Amino acid sequence: MSHDYDGIVLGTGHNALVLQAYLCRSGLRVLSLDQAAVPGGGLATIENPRHPGFLHNTHSFFHRAVTAMPWYRDLELQRHGARYVEPELNVALILPDGRALEWWTDLERTAVSFAEFSSTDAETLRRWVDEFRPIVERILIPEVQSPPLTPEKRRAKLERSPEGRRLLEVQALSPLEFVEREFENDVIRAGLLFFNGLREVDLRLRGFGHSIPALLASPHKAQMCLGGSARLAEALIADIRQQGGEVRIGVRLRAILVRAGRACGVELEDGERVEARGFVASGLNPQQTFLELMDAQAVPSSLRERAGAFRYNLLAPLFALNLALHQRPRYKAAEKRPELDRAFMVILGLERLDQFHEIVGAHEEGRVPPTVMWGACPTLFDPSQAPPGKHTAFTWEKLPYALNGDPASWDAAKEEHGRAMLELWARFAPNLADGTVLDSFARSPLDTERTLPNMRRGDLLVGSFDHDQVGYNRPFEGAGQYRTPIAALYLCGGSTHPGGNITGLCGYNAARVIAADLGAKVWWNPPEFGAA
């Protein structure tokens, strides 16, 4: 038995790696363990096995504001080789008639595009961005970069400032109510909701009305990692190794060990036991952590119940079609709007607000809705992701996990659905029907769960954002703030505050809590919004 480690982290998703890197820099000896053959979880880039040199980002690709994250700076990830670009025409919603709604990194250019649809909406956009910029900078950014406050303390804190009171007022709406109340044009409404839906908040839920103005006012937009998303994981691992940390992959976990009520290590499937003096932090979901990996005797029944009841997003699962191409997609609409040749995220099939209701209804019934899809051609901005002169592209669609009531239906249905998506894509970019496609492969929501079992039911956000699963109560009351009712056992993955996506903030905040509990050095400078 080894007693060499101060801490063990379960999983090597980016949150786990961020946590590990901070604590290694605090002087702790930390090991991370993952069952996958490659570390990084949702930071995955694979080389096409049939066509060497074509790289595909099979999980995350659009990394919002990563270069502005405190951990990106603190861990010197640029020095470790991470490089990002934030394309100027960040999002384009292309309509069948050739018009396009465009979101630029420059607000004025976005407002000009909005004005083509409605000058009133363009003014409304400017007004909300002006009003919400200080709210984003002074409240929302520090809030997600801190362990969450109790709902009561949060409200009391917000009520003390005019910006806080305004945030509470707007937050009380649902995103749907916000958009219907503030914007008049149907394309703009649909675009804003879709843009927001990418973050997977249930658009009908009150309490999230601020999410759209917050997104619009955010100083950074979607970015991409040069060389592929996996380069970010490699940079994190480089920092960890430089500080003496260890990353072990291809290991199967059997159990989290608990002695005298305290987490003290893990047992692997092959019987090996690895112990840690200080902590075990799980980057996995609550069911895996408390039910699958822990002896029922070691977990109070109330905790087992709450872990079992943790819920997943209905609308989060993605279906992906990945292409290796001789040429980039050439959009018909670019003949009149040449800027579309440099559009980063391209949304197709979306024209009106009502489509949301159709998509939600189809998810509830396990049906495929009329396609709305979005994607990118990474090689437009990073030629290194394909052989010289060639391209890669992908498009995603939100589709139900349990297709026709059974997730296994995806294995028979996915090729055909991939073809249908390509047909729709080719209606907008006709060269995709002309021998441009060298290779394609589809991945279903079931494939997501198979690769990353923490994304239960294909939920790439690792848990829904209902009121009892956000902030202080994420994943559930009693296990918020990254501590769990089991001594020395912590959570650090997307099922904790502030939730899934590539933000690294679950791991960043968990590092602060664990360092404080262990009396380890907090060498960085975390913001003051919350209390550890």
Q: Report the interface residues with ligand FAD, using CB under 6 A.
A: 11-16, 34-36, 41-42, 59-63, 253, 283-284, 288, 318, 320, 448, 452-455, 460-462, 493-494, 500-502
Q: Which helix (H) or strand (E) holds 437?
A: strand 437-443
Nearest-approach distance from CB 123 to ligand FAD, in angstroms: 31
The residue among 117 and 490 lying less far from ligand FAD, judged by its C-beta, is 490
Nearest-approach distance from CB 346 to ligand FAD, in angstroms: 14
Phi, psi of 217, deg, nearest 5: -90, -5
Nearest-approach distance from CB 69 to ligand FAD, in angstroms: 11
How far apart are the C-alpha atoms of 262 and 277, rounded to whole Å? 10
The residue among 431 and 451 lying less far from ligand FAD, judged by its C-beta, is 451
The residue among 369 and 504 lying less far from ligand FAD, judged by its C-beta, is 504
Q: Mind giving me the DSSP string for 147-185? A: PPPPHHHHHHHHHTSHHHHHHHHHHTS-HHHHHHHH---
Strands (E), 377-462: 391-398, 437-443
Strands (E), 192-339: 222-225, 246-248, 253-259, 262-268, 273-282, 318-325
Nearest-approach distance from CB 159 to ligand FAD, in angstroms: 31
The residue among 232 and 324 lying less far from ligand FAD, judged by its C-beta, is 232
Phi, psi of 526, deg, nearest 5: -70, 155
Nearest-approach distance from CB 475 to ligand FAD, in angstroms: 11
Whether 110 contacts 102, CB under 8 Å: yes
Nearest-approach distance from CB 182 to ligand FAD, in angstroms: 26
Whether 395 contacts 320, CB under 8 Å: yes
Burial 63-72 (b: 16+ CB within 10 A, else e): bbbbbebbbb
The residue among 189 and 443 lying less far from ligand FAD, judged by its C-beta, is 443
How far apart are the C-alpha atoms of 463 and 127, rounded to whole Å? 33
Nearest-approach distance from CB 255 to ligand FAD, in angstroms: 11
Kindly report the length of the chain: 532
Enter the DSSP assignment of 232.
H
Find tokens 């109330």 and name the residue. 302
Nearest-approach distance from CB 449 to ligand FAD, in angstroms: 9
Closest CA to 377 of 501, 230, 233, 224: 224
Closest CA to 373 of 343, 397, 352: 397
The residue among 58 and 473 lying less far from ligand FAD, judged by its C-beta, is 58
Q: What is the CA radius of gyration of the chain?
A: 23
How far apart are the C-alpha atoms of 115 and 89, rounded to whole Å? 16
The residue among 164 and 507 lying less far from ligand FAD, judged by its C-beta, is 507
The residue among 288 and 385 lying less far from ligand FAD, judged by its C-beta, is 288
Nearest-approach distance from CB 88 to ligand FAD, in angstroms: 19
The residue among 11 and 164 lying less far from ligand FAD, judged by its C-beta, is 11
